[in-house]
Structure 1
Amino acid sequence: MCILKKVKPYTMALAITGGLIAGSGILPGHNIILGTADFIAELFMRLLKLVSLPIIFLSIATTISGLEKYDDLKKTGSQVLGYTISTTVCAATIALLLFLIIDPANPNLVNLATETAPSEQGMRYIDYLLNVVPSNVIQAFADNNVIGTLLIAVGIGVSSLSLPGDKRQTLHQLFSSLYAAVFQVTEWILKLVPVAIWGFTAQFVQSVMSQSLQLDTLSLYLFCVVGANILQAIVVLPLLLKRKGLDPMVIFKKMLPALQVAFWSKSSSAALPVALKHLKCNTDIDHKVASISMPLCISINMNGCAAFILTTVFFVSKCHGIFFSAPEMLIWILISTLTAVGNAGVPMGCYFLSCALLSSMGVSLQIMGFILPFYVMIDMLESAINVWSDICVTLAVNADNEMAHDLEASEITA
């Protein structure tokens, strides 16, 4: 669920308009206004970094430890997880290929390219990879080690599934309560989004006027993000349906109301009741499968988020002169998949995760400020595609169950 849906559209419009005017320099006290914009932008980024790591850890630990409630249908849960991982990996891979083909990043985008030689940067990143496994839990948070934190969260979450029922439930409740508390703090911070957008827009305009920001480069980045999401929606997911003997266009038309809710609300959770209603009423799906698969997919199936994270991390990193080798790119497909799967109910989750990953690498987040005003629109598309993926995965799981049932019936008859 994204708190941005609570912000009125005219508020966003006013923030962007005000930022355009403030950054243009036509108002008196221009330097003071720009100084205020810089202060607000820096404050917002610090607050984001403050809650990013805890919310990433708790969202993943809560999601995994809570899988016990699907114990009565473990087969369905494992099928959902399998399809979720495979479709999310596809989304991240498409994003990587599109990024390599278009190559939108410019190391001089905001005149922030590091002066360190590429080989030295490479060595620093290799050292970072070698130290992703922390020696203790506190070190992971103190060093802002996002990947190390992810490993700890996954390890604790998975291990909790083997605990006795009462202990597993207690641990899940602990994670859920802590997550709810951090989530509330996050909501308070995100109430500053309109003000932050004003500050970032003012910075954006000032950078354009001073010719330190190249609009064509930023446009190519946005094309990569949107293009990767659209390819996932119109190629990968329809192919999954066709493999199961389903007509993608027929399914799309039947589920369009749910996709519209997801698009305009920027919330997969908000679209869940509508999606379940139309699945149960307009398709031949097993109601039990739909009731288990859709809520689980809403929590962990984030195709659009994986594409955004990978593209954004690569784009911002390369704009700062940081390059990745082929093996590192493959590792980042897995990182993007894992972080997207853990993005359960995080407001502005993709944006948070990207900031946290970049921050852990020591990369400046200034370009993320330029991306923020556009993210509001990207989030609408990603939410709709995430729900479309949830629907496709649920129907694929149902088709597998029907096939298994038919096979068992034929064996009994024989």
Structure 2
Amino acid sequence: MAEQKNAAPVRDEVEQKAQAALSAAKLNNQKRQVVLWIGALIVGGILGWVNVPVLNELFNFIATVFTRLFQFVAVPTIALAVITTLAALGTKRDTGRIFAHAVTYTLLTTVCAAAVGLALFLWLAPANLPTEVVGAGASDVPGKLEGLSYYDHFLSIVPNNVLAPFVSGNVLSVMLVAAAVGLGLAFAPKTENREMLLKGIHGLQELLFTLIRGLLTVLPIGILAFAAQLAAQIEAGVIVGSLGVYTAVVIGGNLIQFFVVIPFFLAVRGLNPVRVFRQMAPAVAVALFTKSSAGTLPVTLASAEQRLGAHPSVARFVLPICTTINMNGCAAFILVTSLYVMQNAGMELTLGTMVSWLFIAVLAAVGNAGVPMGCYFLTLSLMASIGAPVGLMGIILPIYSVIDMIETAENVWSDSAVCAITNHELADTLADDEELAPTA
């Protein structure tokens, strides 16, 4: 008996040492990954700036391959994450708490982003462009999009068959279908067929996370190609002209939101912003280059669970939702651009008008899909619906690529912050659920 009592502390000590060694190895691996990503970013930037045509063609090919791979895993990641989480939590009070936290912080950060954009717009006060310049830009507006209404945007979310959202990559429609399936499984009778179906779905999710881990392993190659592609575009020159102040307002608002507002929310809720950013850096980097929150979701989920240590029930529920409704950068762009277009159209911008459009921008951003140029098309539709001249949108189009990159990185950083805050505040109350798939 005495020998057994003496053996227990020794066993505990061995387990603690093994756990410490495992944590140290994991930390070292993460550091190596960060070094690789930074190195790939620097080398890619240098090679892109040299602007060798053969290399540019190669980097464009590699960047396209990675973009397609992210798109390939994005839609099933969203669908499976929502289905498994709602199926496991649909009848439990945890669902309501997680959803309430996600929506609350989404709205708070989005309103702040729009407010920062409005404050900069009033402070810097971009001047109007010459009428002939605005008129000339009408030819660059994407065809037929100027005739879309905001009702058409929401109508496109409602699918008329099960496969269409997945084939077209309509993120909001996929979310709608997945939520319906997940809630159906949550409230369905707990029969043997239901359990078999859930096991199959969890198995698909484990397979998907295995593919994502493989994609993260070769991610430095993608970062190198993306960085080279961006450097080549900048070296070629982006003509901003008289849009410089407008561009400064949009990008400046995004940077303030990124480096000040979001870290402030994290710090107020008792989290270290630097640590959270370091753990979620892979997702932010991928978002910067892919310009798609939805396409980045696989990396965001993997970073949240494996690096940040977020509970699967939080990460797999909050992040897919935030991908579609938490659009900080989009809200600021919609507001500033709408005010700029209306100002150039000669419309009176009273304080009441600007505040009203602040909330319109927030609601529009919540309904926007996390896809490349989603904010641009949505703003174009809004301006067309109120009869504003859309020629200015054609002038903005050439510089929107850079704006879109910064916006998407900001959106994913905000998604990460909302997930981290929700996980932190509910850590003591979340119950382990056997129906949840194991952490990838």
Amino acid in the other structure paired with 1:355: P
Deviations 1:161-207 (A, max 9, x none): 33433322323433553565477568767733312321221211222
Deviations 1:276-317 (A, max 9, x none): 6xxxxxxxxxxxxxxxx7443344445996345525874998
Q: Distance in 1 between matches of 2:402 and 2:86?
A: 41
Taking the TM superposition and a 5 Å limit, the aligned residue runs for 1:90-105 are 90-103=108-121
Deviations 1:16-38 (A, max 9, x none): 2333343xxxxxxxxxx46863x
2:23 maps to which residue?
A: none
Q: 1:320 to 1:18 in 2, by over 3 A?
A: farther
1:200 maps to which residue?
A: 230
Q: Distance in 1 between matches of 2:362 and 2:103?
A: 15
Deviations 1:127-175 (A, max 9, x none): 3433332322443355554433332333333333334333223234335
Q: 1:4 to 1:369 in 2, by over 3 A?
A: farther
1:334 aligned to 2:366?
yes
1:296 maps to which residue?
A: 313
SS at match of 2:367: helix
Taking the TM superposition and a 5 Å limit, the aligned residue runs for 1:237-256 are 238=268, 241=269, 251-252=270-271
User: Contact (CA 8 Å) 2:166, 2:174: kept in 1 or not?
Assistant: yes
Q: 1:373 to 1:234 in 2, by over 3 A?
A: closer
1:155 maps to which residue?
A: 180
After TM superposition, the score normalised by the length of structure 2 is: 0.56
Taking the TM superposition and a 5 Å limit, the aligned residue runs for 1:12-411 are 12-22=41-51, 33=52, 37=56, 39=57, 43=61, 46-47=64-65, 50-51=68-69, 54-67=72-85, 74-103=92-121, 113-115=137-139, 121-126=145-150, 127-163=152-188, 164-178=194-208, 180-181=210-211, 184=214, 191-208=221-238, 217-229=246-258, 230-235=260-265, 238=268, 241=269, 251-252=270-271, 258-259=275-276, 261-262=278-279, 294-301=311-318, 306-308=326-328, 310-311=330-331, 314=334, 329-335=361-367, 353-355=370-372, 357=374, 367=399, 370=402, 383=413, 389-397=418-426
Q: Distance in 1 between matches of 2:157 and 2:127?
A: 28
Q: 1:393 to 1:205 in 2, by over 3 A?
A: same
Q: 1:297 to 1:18 in 2, by over 3 A?
A: same
Structure 1 portions without partners, runs of 5+: 23-32, 242-250, 277-292, 340-352, 402-414
User: Contact (CA 8 Å) 1:237, 1:392: kept in 2 or not?
Assistant: no
Amino acid in the other structure paired with 1:203: Q
User: Contact (CA 8 Å) 2:118, 2:336: kept in 1 or not?
Assistant: no
Q: Distance in 1 between matches of 2:36 and 2:136?
A: 32
Cα shift at 1:213: 9.7
Q: Distance in 2 between matches of 1:95 and 1:146?
A: 23
User: Contact (CA 8 Å) 1:145, 1:360: kept in 2 or not?
Assistant: no
Amino acid in the other structure paired with 1:124: L
After TM superposition, the score normalised by the length of structure 1 is: 0.59
Q: 1:151 to 1:301 in 2, by over 3 A?
A: closer
Q: Distance in 2 between matches of 1:212 and 1:44?
A: 32
Cα shift at 1:50: 3.6
Q: Distance in 2 between matches of 1:47 and 1:80?
A: 35
User: Contact (CA 8 Å) 2:36, 2:220: kept in 1 or not?
Assistant: no
Cα shift at 1:259: 3.4
Q: Distance in 2 between matches of 1:299 and 1:315?
A: 30
Q: Distance in 2 between matches of 1:321 and 1:35?
A: 40
Q: Distance in 2 between matches of 1:354 and 1:219?
A: 23
Q: 1:151 to 1:259 in 2, by over 3 A?
A: closer
Cα shift at 1:41: 7.0
Q: 1:89 to 1:165 in 2, by over 3 A?
A: farther
User: Contact (CA 8 Å) 1:355, 1:368: kept in 2 or not?
Assistant: no
Q: Distance in 2 between matches of 1:395 and 1:106?
A: 45
Amino acid in the other structure paired with 1:310: C
SS at match of 1:132: coil
Which one has a bigger Cα radius of gyration?
2
User: Contact (CA 8 Å) 1:68, 1:161: kept in 2 or not?
Assistant: yes
Cα shift at 1:112: 10
Cα shift at 1:83: 0.7
Amino acid in the other structure paired with 2:93: K
Q: 1:262 to 1:315 in 2, by over 3 A?
A: farther
